[in-house]
Amino acid sequence: MTDALLELQDVAITYATRGGEVEAIRRLSLRLEPDEALGLVGESGCGKSTVALSIVRYLGRTGRIARGRILFEGRDLATVGDAELRALRGRRIAMVYQDPMASLNPVMTVGRQLMEVPMIHDGAGADAARRRALAMLGEVKLSDPEAVMDRYPHQLSGGQQQRIVIAMALIAEPALLIMDEPTTGLDVTVEAAVLDLVRELRRRHRSAIVFISHNLGTVARVCDRIGVMYRGELVEDGPVRRIFSDPRHPYTRGLLDCLPTLGRDKRHAPLVPIPGHLESSSSRPSGCGFAARCVHVEPARCTVGPIPLAPIDGDAGHRAACVRAAELPVWSRRRAEAPAAGAAVASTALVATEHLGKLYRPRRGLFGRRRPGVRALSDVDLAAGRRQTLAIVGESGCGKSTLAKVLAGIEVASEGRVSLDGVEIGGLGIDARDRRLKRKLQMVFQNPDSTLNPSHTVGYAIGRALRRLRGGAPADAAAGVARLLEVVKLSPAMAGRRPRQLSGGEKQRVAIARALAGDPDVIVADEPVSALDVSVQAAIVNLLAELQAARGTTLIFISHDLAVVRYLADHVAVMYLGAVAEFGPVERVFAPPWHPYTEALLSAVPVPDPDAVGGRIVLEGAVPRATERPRGCPFATRCPRKVGAVCDDTPPPVQRLADGHRLVCHIPAAELQRLQRMIAGP
C-alpha cells in the first residue's frame, strides 16, 4: 500500500459549550490516496464540516482535536507548529467554501485576493503573481480575465464568484483540495457547470479532493469514493458505484430512499422518509447511533457495544458500521404501493392568470433621474385546478417568487388578470382582500426560521392565524391548534414550544399548520423544502401530498429542484426571465419535446447515479439582467439550440401541443423531438 496523502486515525473532536464538552466527531478513521476524490455525505449536524475544518485545524476557540492523529503527508496536523501550519494552508491544502460571496473579501478586488496566495507562499513579485492569477482565471473559464481581476466580488455572479474561489484554491497547486458544499445555493445550471469544471481541473492538477455535500447527486458526479456520516461517525464508505448499487448501512439506504429523482413521482414511487429525527449528540446511546431510527434494528445486537466500520466480504474497499450489514436483504430502490389518491383529473381552473405582467418602477429620488423599470413578469398564462399541484421552476431571477407574491397579494399585478375561484385578485393587495379571500389562499415560505416569530409559542402563532382567519372565541383556539398540529403530524404538546426549540422540519410543519388555519383552497409554497435536509424534505413533501389528497387543496409549488417538482407536480411551468417557456402536464414537460431551456435544466440535475450518462448541456453565460431583456426570445443569449437571428429579433410563437402542453420556441416541436430523441436514449 502506498503512503496515504491524508489519514485520520481514530480522531475525536469536541467543542466546549456551556453544558460541557460535546463530541462532534466521535471516532473517525479515513484514508485518502494522492489524487483520489472522497465524498463525505450526511445530513446537517453529522459532523462533515467539522472533519473538513479539522484537517486545516480551524476549529475556532472552542473546538479541539481530543484524540487521534490527522496525518497529512506523514505529519500530524494536530501537533505541527503555527508557522508550519501556515505554510501548509493555502499551499498544500486549500479549501473551497459553501457561500462564495461571503468567502471573498468584499472590499478587495478579486485580483488582489488571488495574487496574495503566490505572493505569500512562493514569495512571488506582484507581476509574477498577476500573471499566475490571470492564467488561473483562464483555467476556471472566466471570460475576460483582465477585467475580472479588477472587479469586486459583488460585481460578479454567484457562479463567477465560486470560480474565483476555486481559482484561489488551485493557484498554489495544492496536494489536497477540500470542498465544503461548493455548489449549495447555486442554481442547478451553474452547479452543473461548476461540477464539470471541478472534474476537469482535478484531472489536470492531480489534486486529491475531499468533497463535502448533503447532495448525493453532486457527490456521485465528482468522487471516486464516498463516506456516509451519521452523528459524528463514518457509517459506511466504499467506491462510489458500490455505495449507490449496494448500500449496506440502513442509513445510507434511507438517504437513497428519500431522495427524489427525475424518474419518481408521487403516484408511482413515493419517497420513504427516514423515521424519527437526528437526536443531539449529547444523548448518545451506546452502540449504533442510528438504532433508534433504524427499521432493521435488533436491540440485543445493535445497542450493546460500539460497532466498528467493518469490511464487507467479497467487496474490496467497501465498509459498513452495521452488525447486520451482511444479512440485510438486497437493496433496490423502493417502490412502495401507490397511495389511493386518484389521478389528477383536469378540472376547471381554481387559480388562473391571464397575460399577467409585473413591472417594477423604481421610485424617483429627490434629485435622481428616472431609471427604466424592471420587468419581473411578462404575459404569464397559467392555470391550476382543484386538488392539483402546479409547480413553477426556473433559475433565480426567473420571476417565480414574484409570481407567488402577486398571487398572495404582497405585490399587485401591473398588467393582466389573476383569478381565484372566479374572483379577480390581480389588482388586490393583501389589505384589499377580505377575510374570505384571505382564507382561500395562504402561503408557506422557504425559511421557517424567519417566518416564525422567535418570541411567540407555536400555539400562539397558529392560534393567531385561526383567530384572524376564522374568528371565534379564544377558547376554541386551543382545540383548533391541537387539531392543526395533529394534521401536520406534530404532537399537540408542541403548542407550548418556541421556534428555537424546534428542528427545521418541525418549524416548516408549524408554518404549514399556520397556512392551513383558514382551511385554504390554495396554498402557495415558495421553495418550502429547499432549506431542509433530504430526509426531512421527503417527509414534508409527503405531508404536502397527503394534505392535498385529504383536503383537496390546490398547491402552487415554487421550486428550483426539478426532482422534487417531478415528484410532486401535476402541471409544471418552466419560467425564464419572467416569461413562461414551457407549460403542461408533468409527464409531458419532463419528456421530449422539451423547450431547450427545460432540456438544459433537466440535464443539469445531479443524478445520484455514477453511471448516469447522456448528452449533457452546460449553459454558458448568465441570465441577462431584467433591465436588458433581449428583444426576441428571452433565452436566445444562452440557448444551445439557437437557430439564428430570428431568435434574437422575433419573440417566439406559442406552440400548442396535446393535453394543454405549451412550448414557446421558434423550433417546431416535431423538430425538437427529433433532435432530443437522439440524446435522450430510452
Q: How far is it, in rounded angstroms, from Cα 276 to Cα 298?
A: 17
Considering only 27, 31, 75, 89, the residue that binds another protein (CB under 8 A) is 89
Considering only 88, 482, 617, 633, the residue that binds another protein (CB under 8 A) is 88
Provide the grid cell at 412: 399587485
Site for another protein in 390-449 (CB under 8 A): none
Phi and psi, residue 269, nearest 5°: -145, 80
Beta carbon of residue 53, minimum distance to another protein (angstroms, whole number): 9
Q: What is the DSSP letter of 463?
A: H
The answer to whether 317 and 225 have CB atoms below 8 angstroms apart is: yes
Is there binding between residue 108 and another protein (CB under 8 A)? yes
Is there binding between residue 676 and another protein (CB under 8 A)? no
Q: What is the DSSP letter of 249?
A: S
Q: Rank residues 85 and 437 by Cβ distance to another protein and give the closer one.
A: 85
Q: How far is it, in rounded angstroms, from Cα 451 to Cα 462?
A: 12
Q: How many residues bind another protein (CB under 8 A)?
A: 29
Q: Is 601 helix (H, G, I), strand (E, B) or coil?
A: helix
Q: How far is it, in rounded angstroms, from Cα 562 to Cα 605?
A: 7
Site for another protein in 38-57 (CB under 8 A): 56
Beta carbon of residue 217, minimum distance to another protein (angstroms, whole number): 25
Q: Rank residues 127 and 367 by Cβ distance to another protein and give the closer one.
A: 367
Is there binding between residue 210 and another protein (CB under 8 A)? no
* CA distances for 124 relative to 95, 118, 131, 205, angstroms: 21, 6, 10, 20
Q: Rank residues 52 and 516 by Cβ distance to another protein and give the closer one.
A: 52
Beta carbon of residue 158, minimum distance to another protein (angstroms, whole number): 14
Beta carbon of residue 56, minimum distance to another protein (angstroms, whole number): 5
Is there binding between residue 260 and another protein (CB under 8 A)? no
Is there binding between residue 2 and another protein (CB under 8 A)? no
Beta carbon of residue 87, minimum distance to another protein (angstroms, whole number): 7
Beta carbon of residue 152, minimum distance to another protein (angstroms, whole number): 4
Provide the grid cell at 292: 433508534
Q: How far is it, in rounded angstroms, from Cα 287 to Cα 61?
A: 30
Count of Cβ atoms closer than 10 Å to residue 491 Cβ:
11
Considering only 35, 67, 152, 438, the residue that binds another protein (CB under 8 A) is 152
Considering only 15, 97, 251, 583, the residue that binds another protein (CB under 8 A) is 97
CA angle 264, 607, 512 (to 5 degrees): 55
Q: Rank residues 89 and 386 by Cβ distance to another protein and give the closer one.
A: 89
Considering only 35, 116, 122, 196, the residue that binds another protein (CB under 8 A) is 116
Task: Compute the residue count for the chain.
Answer: 682
What residues does 353 pair with on adjacent strands?
Answer: 382, 418
Q: Rank residues 56 and 563 by Cβ distance to another protein and give the closer one.
A: 56
Beta carbon of residue 72, minimum distance to another protein (angstroms, whole number): 14
Q: How far is it, in rounded angstroms, from Cα 284 to Cα 309?
A: 18
Q: Rank residues 20 and 365 by Cβ distance to another protein and give the closer one.
A: 365
The answer to whether 669 and 657 have CB atoms below 8 angstroms apart is: yes
Is there binding between residue 130 and another protein (CB under 8 A)? no
Considering only 12, 22, 59, 120, the residue that binds another protein (CB under 8 A) is 120
Considering only 117, 208, 322, 558, the residue that binds another protein (CB under 8 A) is 117
Site for another protein in 602-641 (CB under 8 A): none
Is there binding between residue 190 and another protein (CB under 8 A)? no
The burial class, CB within 10 Å (0-12 / 13-18 / 19+), for 624 is middle
Query: Could you check whether the bond before residue 285 is cis, i.e. omega within 30 degrees of 0?
Result: no
Count of Cβ atoms closer than 10 Å to residue 279 Cβ:
14
Is there binding between residue 105 and another protein (CB under 8 A)? yes
Is there binding between residue 17 and another protein (CB under 8 A)? no
* CA 154, 157, 158, 162 torsion-angle sign: negative
The one-letter amino acid at 465 = A
Q: Rank residues 91 and 509 by Cβ distance to another protein and give the closer one.
A: 91
Is there binding between residue 500 and another protein (CB under 8 A)? no
Beta carbon of residue 82, minimum distance to another protein (angstroms, whole number): 9
The answer to whether 105 and 156 have CB atoms below 8 angstroms apart is: no
Considering only 8, 95, 384, 462, the residue that binds another protein (CB under 8 A) is 95
Is there binding between residue 64 and another protein (CB under 8 A)? no
The answer to whether 65 and 13 have CB atoms below 8 angstroms apart is: yes
The burial class, CB within 10 Å (0-12 / 13-18 / 19+), for 9 is middle
What residues does 556 pair with on adjacent strands?
Answer: 390, 524
Q: Rank residues 86 and 355 by Cβ distance to another protein and give the closer one.
A: 86
- Sort strands 349-360 and 415-420 into parallel, antiparallel or unpaired: antiparallel
Q: For the window 168-187, what string marks contact with another protein as x by the rule CB under 8 A? A: x-------------------
Considering only 16, 102, 295, 410, the residue that binds another protein (CB under 8 A) is 102
Q: Rank residues 44 and 451 by Cβ distance to another protein and give the closer one.
A: 44
Is there binding between residue 90 and another protein (CB under 8 A)? yes
Phi and psi, residue 79, nearest 5°: -120, -5
Residues near another protein (CB under 8 A): 56, 58, 86-91, 94-95, 97, 99, 102-108, 116-117, 120-121, 152, 154, 165, 168, 366-367
